[in-house]
Structure 1
Amino acid sequence: MEENLKDQKDSLDDLKRKLYSRNKDILNRGKIRQKINPSKYVIKDQWGLKPKEETIISSSWQKNLEMNMKKSSSVSIFKKIFIFAFIFFILALGFAVIKFFGNSNDISTSNVGINILGSTFAEGGEEVNLQIEIENRNNTPLELSDLLIEYPKGSGSAEFERIRKSIGTIESGQTANESVKVILLGEQGSSKEVKVTLEFRIHGSNAVFQKEKSYPIVISSSPISLSIEAPEKTTSNQEITLKIITTLNTQKPTPNIRFKVEYPAGFQFESSTPDPFSGNNLWDLGDLSPGVERTIVIKGKLLGQSGDERSFRIYSGAKDFNDQSAIKVVYNSLLHTIAIERPFIEINLFMNGVNEDEYNLPSQTDTTINVEWVNNLPTKIDNVELDISLTGNALDKHSVKTLNGFYDSSENKISWNKNTSPIFSSIEPGERGSVNFNFSSLSLLANNQSPIENPEIFLEASIKGQQLSQGIISQEINSLKKKVIRINSDLQIVAKGYYYSGPLTNTGPIPPKAGEKTTYTIIWTLANSSNKVSGAMAKTTLPLYVSWLGNVSSSSEDITYNELTREIIWKIGTVEKGTGFSGPTKEIAFQVELLPSVSQIGSTPQLVSETILTGEDTFTKASLKDTRSSINTNLYNDIGGSGNDKVVE
């Protein structure tokens, strides 16, 4: 054992001597370099190694040393890159901190604060005081600063009220204060935004910077309140009434208030109180005082199918002086919807076979009214009563006649019930029926009195009955229908021929002679009874053997002759009511010349053809027409004209 340890120590000493020797030959002497094959050699864990094994260990150690040096070099490169990136990050962070906290001249709108102080609720039309604070947290002053305040003029208005205030320079760290008063208008509960904009510049720059902030304010009450009293349901073609009430809520009078209603499709305007300022849907209410109510009552009819809904849109506000049909600023608005329902028991009136709400008739015309009804309910209707009311200044009460009904002249009413007709005891579901009656209108010039002004006859039909539900009377069913008959004015023309009489002097032989000229005077006289007539015109035609001389009795009248059509036309224009009756007549005379032929000997030649008068009744809107027969040489209206009418040789 001791001997082995000694051998190992000698070997180590020998190896140490060789390693630290400066003589290279000691290491290489007698040695031949060989390629190392690690798979063939295994290093023992004991020292006692042979020389060959020592050589293998030395070569392997050198190789491992080289590999470790390469790895060390690679790790060093990555380490340098990491250190460089870390230093760059630290420098960038430092620069950002310096820029943010340092004394920089850069500007930012985020460093401009706008605070708005004031009430978030306001009464419509009343002044609202707002305090505006502007804080400059930038390191540079804000120069040429302007404050712009914008807010809507009215409810739903696209126009804005604008207030601009000059603030000047706001130094760094300084807070500027401004106060402004605004008046907001709108419906109660609506929200309005006041927009505040700060415009400013900075030294050395022409750019304009802006900072905006909005401040919502809720309208606690509208300056003008609107309310409506109107039905929510109706049947088609039934008259409805809309009562609209306008009240000023502010403490100060509001001038130049205009009121507008937009009617739905199918609405027929009939009347209003007061009358509209323009058309049928615009009213000027003038100046409103606090607490004072203005009421507008509108009457009309809604036409539509069962299940339809019709909406009325109502607006109030300041009138537009540039547009007489518009509201410039809307203060308040209102929407009211009416549903159209099918009537439980339907009734219709046919006047001479025509189902119209308004009907025009000549005076003293016999009229037949047919009343039809139908039960639209799924149950029968008992104890039915049908009443027809007849009123109006043109009704001839003595002419009313009916079958199976009773006419009460003191009440101006015709009635049918189960006592007058058994059919009205009970009407089954879907059952139809009808009754009729007759009447005529008065003469518009009765008893030589003044003409009846705006002659009308009103018919109002109502039908009602009882609907049974499980043997108990649950409700009364009724329906109403109204009609109006307007009587046309009696527009008349009288056409006569003269030789001896009249405003014009005539010449030529009487009786007329073949081949010789004779002149005649034709006189047209107008009359009009009850209603004003517009666009009146009279015309006639001359035969080939009669000439127009151009002589007329009045140069102020518009009467002309057309040589191509041979028509004489008198453009009369307006004919006032009562003309020729209670007022003066309107007439014109003109002269024609007859040159008879031998073929006309023994005859009474025609001087003018039939005369036709037309015009429009401004009350009934009906087209009027009156015709008079032709005039010949038989002048039975002229003194001495009779018997001198036939052409002689």
Structure 2
Amino acid sequence: MKPREANSEEGSLERFAKNLNRSGRSESGLRSTRLSRAGDPAKTVARDWSELEAAPKAAPAKPGRNWLVRIFLWSLTFFLATAAVTVYVLFFSSSLVSSDNIDLSITGPTLLRSGDELTLEISTRNRNKVMLRDVSLAVTYPPGTTDSLASGRELTLWRENLPDLRIGQTATVVSRAIVFGAQNSKQTINVVLEYQIPDSNAVFTKEVSYVVEIGSSPLELSLQVPGQINAGKSFTANLKVVSNAQTLLRQVTVRIEYPEGFLWRSSDPAPIRDDNAWFLGDLSPGSTREINLTGVLSGQSEEFKSFKVSAGLDRAESGRSIDVEYGNLFKTVSLKRDFVSAVIDLGGVTTVAAAGNLSGWINWRNNLSDRVINATLRLYLDGAVIDKRSVKASAGFYDSLTNSIYWDKNLLPELGLLNPEATGRTGFNFSVLPAGSWSDNTSTDIRLRLVLEGVRITAEDAGEEIFTEAEQLVKVGTEVELAAKGEHTVGPFSNTGPLPPEVGEETTYTITWSVANSLNPVNGATVRTVLPPYVKWLSVVSPLDEKVIYHNTDQEVVWALGAVSPATGSGRQVSFQVALVPSLSQVGQAVNLTGPLVFEGVDTVTGQKINLTRPAVTTNLATDPGFSFGQSEVVE
């Protein structure tokens, strides 16, 4: 019977140990011991039981700890899953829809003759995992390209809608255009593919470029000039323009960049602008145009001079610039030294102001190894704007009938004999008439032409005549008039406040500026002033179409005139209103209402900058008919 009781006790102890393990007590260091069947069961049970009683009791587990662990594990799992999705979207989902999975290819010639038709085959293949919808192509051609289907119509942008591209589908379109360009130039065509994907309103793009080289020019240019040109002597050049294009070339203009020291005298046909631009109009295939021009080159002996000729499309037909170049060339010539050189030296001056003064020197040099006798000089003054009464010459005679200054050995003894390498100089000066003293259609160019003549003495020939000629062109600059005035009782605004101005009381004034231009167009014109700290800007301007800007930070007033045309009647005028509150320190004074005026602009004919200044406008309103003497000084 005892073995059965032992078994019963063993089963009870095992169940008790298991219960301890389930409740977490085993974690506190208790050891579950299995009863041994060998030996004395009673002793074994007693020993194990005593060990159980001697072991420290574990604290009971808190019921909420398992829930906190579970919540933490669930949150960590959710965070990791979200991060994984984010990483996938950012770094891996682009492989689903990407421009890299779209093949956009262009097939066409890489070498083209200017003016020929360019045919481009553009293929688009969708390698994405989704369909592409609302697909379109935009092809941007270089400036000057024309439509091959509409002769002469400029084509800079060509668009074509494509069908929706399913997965793996390819669409091909053909674009045709006539491309122009200078020989050996590279023309770039940009192609942009636009598309959308299902369930998205975003527009995606892919862009590629295609480069074609122009192998030949649509215009053949040739300039015939003498290989050697005598400095200071007239020569003739012939420019020939031949169309090599297969289509009509529209609005063709030719421009020549002259070398330094070149003076244009005449041409056939006449230029349309600045003596160096000719509008040839439309040129049909194979047609030819010619330009004959005459000029003078000055410079040193053996010096090289280069002409640059450009021809192309001029949309404005103004000759100012060439929008698309069809061809160009350079031509270089060398100067030959004269037997006796003669130069007009103006000190680098190429422009003179209306009513201004021009002075210069005549320099000569005998370049021969022989003597020259009985030399004479004659300087012709060609220009309707020259004040003939002002012409003066040192040791020379001014002949008003021929409008020239003359020197010979009687007036200038050193001209009687010019030894080899001998040099000399003499001076002259004259004034330019004021701008209002000539009519609007009067030419304002001043041409100076110098002629030197003499006799060369050699052992073989005692009487060889020599001749040297030089020319110089001077342009007359415009004359700008700037005026300013202050008013109170008249003008476009109603003014208030006491006259004379009183300390602490506000008085308003009208400031009026006017600008008149006499001769040449002026660009970039502005008038500026700075208001004193005691004067307030009232933000009213008349007329409203004039642009007046006020900078509050520094109290600067700027009248941005822009382009000012010549001979515009009384000129342009603008008015604005300011307010004055005088201080005790100004009592008894006529105070400034503005600072000094500054005008700036550029003469478009001469290229010269124009700078004018005028004194500040004060409370002395001399031009106001309602103003009385004594109303300018501040009173208490």
Scaled by the length of structure 1, what TM-score is found? 0.56
- Tell me, yes or no, if structure 1 residue 648 matches structure 2 residue 629: no
Q: Alpha-carbon deviation of 1:497?
A: 0.6
- Tell me, yes or no, if structure 1 residue 394 matches structure 2 residue 385: yes
Q: Secondary structure at the match of 1:481?
A: strand
Tell me which of 565, 585, 591 is aligned to 1:599. 585
User: How do residues 366-381 of structure 1 correspond to structure 2 at under 5 angstroms?
Assistant: 366-381=357-372
- Tell me, yes or no, if structure 1 residue 365 matches structure 2 residue 349: no
Q: Structure 1 residues 293 and 624, CA, compared in 2 at 3 Å: closer, same or farther?
A: same
1:548 equivalent in structure 2: 537
Once residues 552 and 420 of structure 2 are traced to their aligned partners in structure 1, the CA distance between those partners, rounded to angstroms, is 69
1:343 equivalent in structure 2: 338
Q: Alpha-carbon deviation of 1:293?
A: 6.3
Unaligned runs of 5+ in 2: 1-108, 120-217, 316-321
Q: Deviations over 1:203-262 (max 9, x none)?
A: xxxxxxxxxxxxxxxxxxxx99987653221245766431235689x9x99954979788
Once residues 574 and 563 of structure 2 are traced to their aligned partners in structure 1, the CA distance between those partners, rounded to angstroms, is 15
Once residues 255 and 539 of structure 2 are traced to their aligned partners in structure 1, the CA distance between those partners, rounded to angstroms, is 55
- Tell me, yes or no, if structure 1 residue 439 matches structure 2 residue 430: yes
2:472 equivalent in structure 1: 483
Once residues 475 and 352 of structure 2 are traced to their aligned partners in structure 1, the CA distance between those partners, rounded to angstroms, is 6
Once residues 554 and 219 of structure 2 are traced to their aligned partners in structure 1, the CA distance between those partners, rounded to angstroms, is 65
Once residues 553 and 259 of structure 1 are traced to their aligned partners in structure 2, the CA distance between those partners, rounded to angstroms, is 43
2:374 equivalent in structure 1: 383
Q: Which amino acid aligns with 1:643?
A: G
Measured on the aligned residues, the alpha-carbon RMSD in Å equals 4.1
Q: Secondary structure at the match of 2:435?
A: coil
Q: Which amino acid aligns with 2:366?
A: N
Q: Is the 8 A contact 1:512 1:646 kept in 2?
A: yes
1:622 equivalent in structure 2: 608
Q: Alpha-carbon deviation of 1:394?
A: 0.6
Q: Is the 8 A contact 1:491 1:625 kept in 2?
A: no
Q: Deviations over 1:494-534 (max 9, x none)?
A: 10011111111111111111111111111112211122221
Q: Is the 8 A contact 1:348 1:355 kept in 2?
A: no
Q: Structure 1 residues 337 and 522, CA, compared in 2 at 3 Å: closer, same or farther?
A: closer
Once residues 629 and 420 of structure 1 are traced to their aligned partners in structure 2, the CA distance between those partners, rounded to angstroms, is 48
Q: Which amino acid aligns with 1:372?
A: N
Q: Deviations over 1:366-424 (max 9, x none)?
A: 33322121112222112211110001121111222224322221211111122333221
User: How do residues 186-335 of structure 1 correspond to structure 2 at under 5 angstroms?
Assistant: 230-235=225-230, 240-245=235-240, 256=249, 270=264, 273-275=269-271, 284=280, 286-287=282-283, 294-298=289-293, 306-310=301-305, 325-327=324-326
Q: Secondary structure at the match of 2:384?
A: coil
Once residues 452 and 630 of structure 1 are traced to their aligned partners in structure 2, the CA distance between those partners, rounded to angstroms, is 36
- Tell me, yes or no, if structure 1 residue 510 matches structure 2 residue 499: yes
Rg (Cα) greater in structure: 1
Q: Is the 8 A contact 1:259 1:282 kept in 2?
A: yes
User: How do residues 174-189 of structure 1 correspond to structure 2 at under 5 angstroms?
Assistant: none
Q: Is the 8 A contact 2:340 2:366 kept in 1?
A: yes
Once residues 646 and 247 of structure 1 are traced to their aligned partners in structure 2, the CA distance between those partners, rounded to angstroms, is 76
Q: Secondary structure at the match of 2:585?
A: helix
Tell me which of 543, 549, 560 is aligned to 1:560. 549
Q: Is the 8 A contact 2:270 2:278 kept in 1?
A: no
Once residues 282 and 260 of structure 1 are traced to their aligned partners in structure 2, the CA distance between those partners, rounded to angstroms, is 5
Q: Which amino acid aligns with 1:455?
A: T
1:463 equivalent in structure 2: 452
Q: Secondary structure at the match of 1:424?
A: helix
User: How do residues 509-548 of structure 1 correspond to structure 2 at under 5 angstroms?
Assistant: 509-548=498-537
Q: Is the 8 A contact 1:608 1:630 kept in 2?
A: yes
Once residues 384 and 553 of structure 2 are traced to their aligned partners in structure 1, the CA distance between those partners, rounded to angstroms, is 48
- Tell me, yes or no, if structure 1 residue 416 matches structure 2 residue 407: yes
1:172 equivalent in structure 2: none
Once residues 315 and 543 of structure 1 are traced to their aligned partners in structure 2, the CA distance between those partners, rounded to angstroms, is 54
1:102 equivalent in structure 2: none
Q: Which amino acid aligns with 1:371?
A: I
Q: Is the 8 A contact 1:277 1:284 kept in 2?
A: no
Once residues 576 and 313 of structure 2 are traced to their aligned partners in structure 1, the CA distance between those partners, rounded to angstroms, is 54
Q: Secondary structure at the match of 2:414?
A: helix
Q: Structure 1 residues 285 and 465, CA, compared in 2 at 3 Å: closer, same or farther?
A: farther
Once residues 273 and 358 of structure 2 are traced to their aligned partners in structure 1, the CA distance between those partners, rounded to angstroms, is 38
Q: Structure 1 residues 411 and 264, CA, compared in 2 at 3 Å: closer, same or farther?
A: closer
Q: Secondary structure at the match of 2:593?
A: strand
Q: Structure 1 residues 452 and 487, CA, compared in 2 at 3 Å: closer, same or farther?
A: farther
Q: Which amino acid aligns with 2:325?
A: A
Tell me which of 597, 610, 615 is aligned to 1:611. 597
Scaled by the length of structure 2, what TM-score is found? 0.57
Q: Deviations over 1:446-482 (max 9, x none)?
A: 2xx6456552322111212222221414743332221
Q: Alpha-carbon deviation of 1:298?
A: 4.0
Once residues 483 and 397 of structure 1 are traced to their aligned partners in structure 2, the CA distance between those partners, rounded to angstroms, is 18
Q: Deviations over 1:529-579 (max 9, x none)?
A: 122221111111111111111111222111011122211100011211112
Once residues 386 and 278 of structure 1 are traced to their aligned partners in structure 2, the CA distance between those partners, rounded to angstroms, is 30
2:571 equivalent in structure 1: 585
Q: Structure 1 residues 542 and 240, CA, compared in 2 at 3 Å: closer, same or farther?
A: farther
Q: Structure 1 residues 437 and 243, CA, compared in 2 at 3 Å: closer, same or farther?
A: same
Once residues 586 and 509 of structure 1 are traced to their aligned partners in structure 2, the CA distance between those partners, rounded to angstroms, is 30
Q: Which amino acid aligns with 1:326?
A: E
Q: Secondary structure at the match of 1:506?
A: coil
Q: Structure 1 residues 261 and 510, CA, compared in 2 at 3 Å: closer, same or farther?
A: closer
2:210 equivalent in structure 1: none
Once residues 413 and 313 of structure 1 are traced to their aligned partners in structure 2, the CA distance between those partners, rounded to angstroms, is 35
- Tell me, yes or no, if structure 1 residue 427 matches structure 2 residue 426: no
Give the length in aligned residue pairs. Answer: 419
Q: Deviations over 1:49-74 (max 9, x none)?
A: xxxxxxxxxxxxxxxxxxxxxxxxxx
Unaligned runs of 5+ in 1: 1-149, 163-222
